């Protein structure tokens, strides 16, 4: 039995572990890294700053045609007739589709589609389509959809969800507790607002094979879905995603518009492009469901949390998936929830960076503050007393120090300065199934290939770093090909699974290639291949020392080509059950105007084994800014009568801009996590979970009144102050 | 109704091009669709996001709001023209180095605005950057690395 040392300085533990013969030995807290953990600019950085990087929107062909759909202005209607004849008669219109008899369930639903020679003809043609609607009553809020006699959105009842369990037990605990606090929290619908909109460019070749340049966070899901929709055999479909302009959980497969684009391409035998316009992007390409959370928490005078019960309602439009992660994080004697998922006449909700979490944690952490207030306790002390996570327990004091935590707010004029904090949790989410190819050429070239995508997080660079580390060569020797489904399978980038799942597989592929190389070289230079190693670009332990490039030149074959997979690399002990994080906020609130300015955010985040310090910090920064934007600005507004979105743009749907940025201090926590041979954890999503909660608590601290609804706009602040 | 293309001489990144395009096309459309210069990005076509920013006679403009026909005889600069013979411009270099581009979709527009700031203000302070970049939105980075990259590039340029 050999030992594995896991954890972080100040909290380490040893686990027994025997590495199987055919598996790369795991990294742990004692590993000395040469490439890993340092800041590395991304491999494709130069392509991105020179404009050379090609996004789906940038793929062009001389004979490219353009597709677009006509979208319903009504949220609930029956299409009585569609007259598409004038559009079809327009010269340059090449393909069309009319969805006669369609029942419209949300504004923006596609009613008809056109493909044309130019975008101008396309727009003219769409304007010539005549649709007669029978407008039906709609319900676009949770309240309206639950009211007696509400219009039914789809077959089946509007209200679904999970029945609560264990309420009796929580009620009993409440009864015994010293204090009980009750409050209702609300969060809004947030749209993903990816900067590159959803869609694709597609092209059939003469042999019937299809290539799709998709803006997607799952090349392989897209491939399967396109194949099914277009009735093409999956092996004849290639999806390519070299670069994509953001997804955040909304780009997981082929959509209705992708399908239309492919059908148009096939019918016309021409390459076709369809990327949504900004308005459609807001209406139909995904959103974070809203929530109403009725919370009842209890505690004892000594600061022990007792019971927590949450009843929630939310809507993912015509889809399902509303719900909140609340209660969570803290140790309660008894806790549970009942969550209702209410259908409304609105575009379908989709996974959005840490689904259910930011909204749940906003309410949870507000309640924790309210309990602390009722107990007359410091809210941070209450959290620490009831938090058992080994990593988060170490993070609270770090954040406290970095923000300069204060029990009393500052400021004696109209502007008050307040402090708040919130915790975060996420799963480690390493999933088996990935495969990675490693090819070492006689010329000294090294290539790692995987068919999944880099949605901007830095996956390409992550693969290169992991590969270089395990191979024992400088990063500059390594190349990566990503985003072509002709390469081995890789997961969808959702749930922050990408890095933890692919890391041990890259390591395995590199290790297998290295072993094969050393066996060849041992025969040439003499030595025991088992005792030979590759370190910093040198082959050591043989009869003589040679460089990696020299070793490659000695290969008796043109190249070594191996594929690492996920078998056996996941059976490693793990340090902690969840990914932990905390954030602290300092805000300034103008009590006369109600305006909130975030001054500083401290983000302390469990990053597992850090691969690239630069992209780790970037994920933390990005998580904070999206959380801040959610806390203060973003809000999808639907007209309650027509169901149409009234702010489907980037002017009235405000996202945080350069002027809204606070100072952000990122404190990554490197934890030798284990769990896989690489020990890499999930990061992109947990980094955004606590931001809104921390900001809201800081606002309440500053003004000594609670705002229980997001976004925290000036009117809500003034109302909380009793000034409205 | 068939629209007739017009032929114009456009001065893009120091080179004159004879381009024929439909008269109502925006500069963004002409750059991307008629000239295949896809470095300039398309984010909203409504003048709201800033991803389409290019320099027109040295001033940042939203190319989705400018008619290409009005640009004849004027100097147009896009991201493709930033790098010189000796490689990327210090601004590009610092953006890459600091990871100021995550998904990278807003990056070309950011770079062009930053470029105009640096020409006017060789050592911009944070407040200037916050004001000047207010029209360029980014969904990924949180802007801080963008500020730092511009500040470092400013120093590089001053050091020659
Ligand atoms: S595309 Fe021009 S401002 Fe958005
Ligand atoms: S880097 Fe993605 S929008 Fe700015």
Model confidence band, residue A230 (pLDDT cutoffs 50, 70, 90): confident
- Residue ending a domain, choose from A103, A123, A152: A152
Sort out which chain B residues have CB atoms less than 8 A from A68's CB and list them.
none
Chain A closest CA to B72's CA: distance in Å? 22
Residues B74 and B52 placed together within one structural domain of the fold: yes
- Cα A708 to Cα A315, A614, A650, A693: the distances in Å are 18, 35, 25, 10
How does the average pLDDT of chain B come out, rounded?
96
Yes or no, beta carbons of A195 and B49 under 8 Å apart? yes
At residue A98, φ and ψ (nearest 5 deg) are -125, 130
Query: Which single residue is written with the structure tokens 């992109």?
Result: A684
Write the DSSP symbol of residue A660.
G
Q: Which two tokens stand for residue B36?
A: 């295949």
Is residue B121's pLDDT more than 90?
yes
Model confidence band, residue B2 (pLDDT cutoffs 50, 70, 90): low
Which CATH number do you get for residue A551?
A: 3.30.365.10
Residues B61 and B111 placed together within one structural domain of the fold: no
Residues A610 and A710 placed together within one structural domain of the fold: yes
Residues B14 and B77 placed together within one structural domain of the fold: yes
pLDDT tens profile A522-576:
999 999 999 999 999 999 999 999 999 999 999 999 999 999 999 999 999 999 9
pLDDT tens profile A624-671:
999 999 999 999 999 999 999 999 999 999 999 999 999 999 999 999
Q: Whose CA is nearest to atom 3 of ligand 1?
A: B47
Q: Which two tokens stand for residue A507?
A: 């390591």
pLDDT tens profile B28-73:
999 999 999 999 999 999 999 999 999 999 999 999 999 999 999 9
Yes or no, beta carbons of B48 and A243 under 8 Å apart? no
Q: Is the CB of B54 under 6 A from ligand 1?
A: no
> What value does the mean pLDDT take over residues A619-624?
97
What is the CB neighbour count within 10 angstroms for residue A483? 26
Yes or no, beta carbons of B103 and A49 under 8 Å apart? no
The range of the structural domain enclosing residue B29 comes to 6-81
Residues A6 and A92 placed together within one structural domain of the fold: no
Residue B13 forms part of a structural domain: yes
Is residue A163's pLDDT more than 90?
no
- Beta B75-77 vs A103-104: how paired, if at all? unpaired
Q: Which two tokens stand for residue A252?
A: 């997981």
Is residue A1's pLDDT more than 60?
no
How does the average pLDDT of chain A come out, rounded?
96
Residue A597 forms part of a structural domain: yes
- Residue ending a domain, choose from A556, A572, A588: A572
Among chain B residues, the shortest Cα distance to A192 is held by B139
Sort out which chain A residues have CB atoms less than 8 A from B102's CB and list them.
456-458, 618, 622
Q: Where are the alpha helices (DSSP H) in A110-250?
A: 119-128, 142-146, 167-176, 219-230
Residue A189 forms part of a structural domain: no
Residues A553 and A580 placed together within one structural domain of the fold: no
pLDDT at A377: 97
At residue A564, φ and ψ (nearest 5 deg) are -95, 140
Residue A292 forms part of a structural domain: no
Residue A54 forms part of a structural domain: no
Residues A578 and A717 placed together within one structural domain of the fold: yes
Residue A74, helix vs strand vs coil: coil
Q: Which residues lie closer than 8 Å to A55 by C-beta, 6 or more apart?
A: A196, A215, A242, A243, A244, A245, B41, B105
pLDDT at A160: 93
Residues A554 and A603 placed together within one structural domain of the fold: no
pLDDT tens profile A176-195:
999 999 999 999 999 999 99
- Beta B75-77 vs B6-12: how paired, if at all? parallel
Residue A328 forms part of a structural domain: no
Residues A6 and A103 placed together within one structural domain of the fold: no
Residue A299 forms part of a structural domain: no
Residue B27 forms part of a structural domain: yes
Question: Across the interface, which of B37, B88, B139 has its CB nearest the CB of A246?
Answer: B139
Model confidence band, residue A724 (pLDDT cutoffs 50, 70, 90): confident
pLDDT at A500: 95
- Residue ending a domain, choose from A529, A556, A572: A572
**How would you class B84 by CB atoms within 10 Å of its CB: exposed for 0-12, middle for 13-18, buried for 19 or more?**
exposed
At residue B92, φ and ψ (nearest 5 deg) are -65, -40
Which CATH number do you get for residue B114?
A: 1.10.150.120
Question: Across the interface, which of B32, B104, B108 has its CB nearest the CB of A243?
Answer: B104
Residues B148 and B114 placed together within one structural domain of the fold: yes
Chain B closest CA to A195's CA: distance in Å? 6
- Residue ending a domain, choose from B41, B59, B81: B81
Residue B1 forms part of a structural domain: no
Chosen from B23, B34, B102 to mutate, greatest number of chain A CBs within 10 A: B102
Which residues share a beta bridge with A337? A310
Instruction: Starting from the CA of residue B28, give the closest ligand.
Output: 1
For A163-304, strand residue ranges (E) read 179-187, 190-191, 199-204, 210-214, 237-240, 272-275, 287-288, 291-299
Residues A408 and A442 placed together within one structural domain of the fold: no
- Residue ending a domain, choose from B60, B81, B102: B81
Residue B29 forms part of a structural domain: yes
Question: Across the interface, which of B38, B102, B140 has its CB nearest the CB of A58?
Answer: B38
pLDDT at B159: 87
pLDDT at B1: 52
- Residue ending a domain, choose from B81, B112, B130: B81
pLDDT at A185: 98
pLDDT tens profile A251-304:
998 999 999 999 999 999 999 999 999 999 999 999 999 999 999 999 999 999
> Taking a C-beta distance cutoff of 8 angstroms, is the pair A554, A523 a contact?
no
Residues B10 and B39 placed together within one structural domain of the fold: yes
What is the CB neighbour count within 10 angstroms for residue A132? 11
Compute, in angstroms, the gap from residue A616 CA to the centroid of ligand 2: 16
Instruction: Starting from the CA of residue B47, give the closest ligand.
Output: 1
Yes or no, beta carbons of B139 and A60 under 8 Å apart? no
Query: Dihedral, CA atoms, A650, A651, A655, A661, nearest 10 degrees?
Result: 130
Residues A509 and A410 placed together within one structural domain of the fold: no
Residues A595 and A649 placed together within one structural domain of the fold: yes
Number of domains in chain A: 3
Residues B67 and B120 placed together within one structural domain of the fold: no
Among chain A residues, the shortest Cα distance to B49 is held by A650
User: If you write DSSP's letter for every residue of A462-505 in order, what string do you get?
Assistant: HHHHHHHHHHTS-GGGEEEEESBTTSPP---S-TT-HHHHHHHH
Query: Dihedral, CA atoms, A319, A578, A483, A560, nearest 10 degrees?
Result: -150
Residue A527 forms part of a structural domain: yes
Q: Is the preceding omega at residue A599 within 30 degrees of 0, hence cis? A: no
Q: Which residues lie closer than 8 Å to A533 by C-beta, 6 or more apart?
A: A472, A518, A539, A540, A541
Sort out which chain B residues have CB atoms less than 8 A from A627's CB and list them.
none
pLDDT at A692: 98
Q: Is the CB of B52 under 6 A from ligand 1?
A: yes
Sort out which chain B residues have CB atoms less than 8 A from A57's CB and list them.
38, 41-42
Yes or no, beta carbons of B44 and A278 under 8 Å apart? yes
Q: Is the CB of B103 under 6 A from ligand 2?
A: yes
Residue B141 forms part of a structural domain: yes
Residues B118 and B136 placed together within one structural domain of the fold: yes
Chain B closest CA to A491's CA: distance in Å? 19
Question: Across the interface, which of A48, A52, A658 has its CB nearest the CB of B134?
Answer: A658
Residues A462 and A529 placed together within one structural domain of the fold: yes
pLDDT tens profile A702-714:
999 999 999 999 9
Q: Is the CB of B136 under 6 A from ligand 2?
A: no
Cα B149 to Cα B99: distance, rounded to the nearest angstrom: 9
Write the DSSP symbol of residue B39.
T
Sort out which chain B residues have CB atoms less than 8 A from A53's CB and list them.
104
Model confidence band, residue A402 (pLDDT cutoffs 50, 70, 90): very high
Residue B18 forms part of a structural domain: yes
Residues A656 and A711 placed together within one structural domain of the fold: yes
Cα B62 to Cα B143: distance, rounded to the nearest angstrom: 19
Yes or no, beta carbons of A48 and B101 under 8 Å apart? yes
Residues B152 and B94 placed together within one structural domain of the fold: yes
> Taking a C-beta distance cutoff of 8 angstroms, is the pair A407, A520 a contact?
no
Yes or no, beta carbons of A456 and B145 under 8 Å apart? no
Residues B10 and B75 placed together within one structural domain of the fold: yes
Cα A517 to Cα A515: distance, rounded to the nearest angstrom: 5
Which atom, in ligand 2's list, is nearest to the CA of B100?
A: 1
Residues A549 and A660 placed together within one structural domain of the fold: no
Which atom, in ligand 1's list, is nearest to the CA of B48?
A: 3
Residues B63 and B13 placed together within one structural domain of the fold: yes
Chain B closest CA to A635's CA: distance in Å? 15
Number of domains in chain B: 2
Q: Which two tokens stand for residue A421?
A: 């904090």
Residues B53 and B18 placed together within one structural domain of the fold: yes
Yes or no, beta carbons of A195 and B106 under 8 Å apart? yes
Comparing A67-76, A186-195, A406-415, A560-569, which segment has the lowest mean pLDDT?
A406-415
What is the CB neighbour count within 10 angstroms for residue A418? 25
Residues B71 and B109 placed together within one structural domain of the fold: no
Q: What percent of chain A has pLDDT over 90?
A: 97
Residue A677 forms part of a structural domain: yes
Q: Is the CB of B105 under 6 A from ligand 1?
A: no
pLDDT at B22: 94
At residue A46, φ and ψ (nearest 5 deg) are -65, -35
pLDDT at A69: 98
pLDDT tens profile A365-383:
999 999 999 999 999 999 9
Which atom, in ligand 2's list, is nearest to the CA of A195?
A: 3
> Taking a C-beta distance cutoff of 8 angstroms, is the pair A653, A384 a contact?
no
Cα A60 to Cα A76: distance, rounded to the nearest angstrom: 37
Which CATH number do you get for residue A98?
A: 3.90.1170.50
Cα A415 to Cα A412: distance, rounded to the nearest angstrom: 7
Q: Is the CB of B27 under 6 A from ligand 1?
A: no
Yes or no, beta carbons of A659 and B134 under 8 Å apart? yes
> Taking a C-beta distance cutoff of 8 angstroms, is the pair A344, A141 a contact?
yes
The range of the structural domain enclosing residue A419 comes to 1-32+389-428+574-724
For A163-198, strand residue ranges (E) read 179-187, 190-191
């Amino acid at each position: 039995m050999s030992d594995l040392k896991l954890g972080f300085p100040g909290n380490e533990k040893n686990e027994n572990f025997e590495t199987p013969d055919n598996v790369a030995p795991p990294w742990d807290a004692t590993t000395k890294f040469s490439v890993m953990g340092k800041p590395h600019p991304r491999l494709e950085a130069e392509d991105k700053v020179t404009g050379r990087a090609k996004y789906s929107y940038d793929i062009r062909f001389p004979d490219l045609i353009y597709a677009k759909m006509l979208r319903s202005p009504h949220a609930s209607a029956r299409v009585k007739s569609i007259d598409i004849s004038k559009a079809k008669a327009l010269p340059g219109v090449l393909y069309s589709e009319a969805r006669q008899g369609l029942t419209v369930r949300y504004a923006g639903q596609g009613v008809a589609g056109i493909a044309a020679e130019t975008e101008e003809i396309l727009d003219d043609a769409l304007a010539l389509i005549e649709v007669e609607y029978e407008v039906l009553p709609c319900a676009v809020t949770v309240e309206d959809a639950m009211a007696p006699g509400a219009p039914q959105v789809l077959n089946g009842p509007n209200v679904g969800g999970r029945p609560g369990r264990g309420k009796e037990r929580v009620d009993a605990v409440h009864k015994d507790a010293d204090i009980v606090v009750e409050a209702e929290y609300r969060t809004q619908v947030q749209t993903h607002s990816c900067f590159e909109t959803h869609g694709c460019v597609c092209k059939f070749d003469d042999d019937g094979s299809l290539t799709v340049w998709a803006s997607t966070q799952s090349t392989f899901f897209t491939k399967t879905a396109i194949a099914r929709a277009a009735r093409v055999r999956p092996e004849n479909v290639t999806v390519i995603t070299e670069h994509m302009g953001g997804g955040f959980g909304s780009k997981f497969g082929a959509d209705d518009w992708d399908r239309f684009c492919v059908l148009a391409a096939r019918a016309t035998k021409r390459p076709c492009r369809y990327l949504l316009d900004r308005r459609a992007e807001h209406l139909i390409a995904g959103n974070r469901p809203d929530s109403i959370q009725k919370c009842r928490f209890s505690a004892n005078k000594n600061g022990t949390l007792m019971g927590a019960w949450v009843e929630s309602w939310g809507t993912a439009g015509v889809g399902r998936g509303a719900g909140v992660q609340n209660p969570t994080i803290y140790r309660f004697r008894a806790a549970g929830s009942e969550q209702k998922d209410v259908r409304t006449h609105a575009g379908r909700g989709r996974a959005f960076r840490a689904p259910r979490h930011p909204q749940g944690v906003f309410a949870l952490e507000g309640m924790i503050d309210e309990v602390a207030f009722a107990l007359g306790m410091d809210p941070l002390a209450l959290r620490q007393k009831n938090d058992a996570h080994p990593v988060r327990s170490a993070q609270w004091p770090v954040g406290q120090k970095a923000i300069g935590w204060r029990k009393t707010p500052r400021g004696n004029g109209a502007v008050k300065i307040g402090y708040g904090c919130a915790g975060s949790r996420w799963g480690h989410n390493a999933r088996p199934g990935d495969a990675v190819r490693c090819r070492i050429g006689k010329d000294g070239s090294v290539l790692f290939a995987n068919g999944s995508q880099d949605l901007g997080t830095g996956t390409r660079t992550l693969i290169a770093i992991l590969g270089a580390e395990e191979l024992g060569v400088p990063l500059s020797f390594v190349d990566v090909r990503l985003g072509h489904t002709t390469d081995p399978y890789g997961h969808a980038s959702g749930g922050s699974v990408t890095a933890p799942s692919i890391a041990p597989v890259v390591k395995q592929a590199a290790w297998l290639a290295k072993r094969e190389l050393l066996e060849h070289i041992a025969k040439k230079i003499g030595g025991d291949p088992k005792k030979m190693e590759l370190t910093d670009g040198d082959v050591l332990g043989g009869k003589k020392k040679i460089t990696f490039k020299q070793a490659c030149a000695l290969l008796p074959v043109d190249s070594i080509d191996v594929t690492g997979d996920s078998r056996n690399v996941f059976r490693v002990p793990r340090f902690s059950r969840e990914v932990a994080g905390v954030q602290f906020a300092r805000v300034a609130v103008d009590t006369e105007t109600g305006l909130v300015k975030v001054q500083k955010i401290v983000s302390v985040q469990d990053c597992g084994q850090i691969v690239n310090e630069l992209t780790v910090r970037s994920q933390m920064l990005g998580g904070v800014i999206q959380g801040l934007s959610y806390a203060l600005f973003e809000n999808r507004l639907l007209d309650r009568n027509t169901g149409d979105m009234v702010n489907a743009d980037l002017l009235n749907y405000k996202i945080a801009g350069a002027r809204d940025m606070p100072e952000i201090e990122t404190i990554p926590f490197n934890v030798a996590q284990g769990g896989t041979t690489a020990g890499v954890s999930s990061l992109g999503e947990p980094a955004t979970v606590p931001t809104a909660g921390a900001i809201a608590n800081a606002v309440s601290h500053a003004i000594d009144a609670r705002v229980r609804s997001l976004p925290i706009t000036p009117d809500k602040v003034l109302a909380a102050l009793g000034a409205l | 109704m068939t629209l007739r293309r017009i032929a114009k001489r456009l001065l893009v990144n120091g080179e004159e091009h004879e381009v024929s395009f439909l008269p109502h096309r925006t500069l963004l459309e002409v750059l991307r669709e008629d000239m295949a210069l896809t470095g300039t990005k398309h984010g909203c076509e409504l003048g709201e996001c800033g991803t389409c920013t290019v320099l027109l006679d040295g001033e940042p403009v939203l190319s989705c709001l400018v008619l290409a026909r009005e640009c004849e005889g004027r100097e147009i600069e896009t991201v493709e023209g930033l790098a010189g013979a000796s490689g990327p411009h210090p601004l590009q270099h610092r953006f890459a180095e600091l990871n100021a581009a995550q998904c990278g979709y807003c990056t070309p527009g950011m770079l062009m605005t930053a470029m105009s700031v640096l020409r006017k203000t060789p050592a911009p302070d944070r407040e200037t950057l916050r004001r000047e970049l207010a029209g360029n939105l980014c969904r990924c980075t949180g802007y801080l690395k963008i500020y730092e990259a511009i500040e470092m590039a400013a120093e590089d340029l001053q050091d020659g």
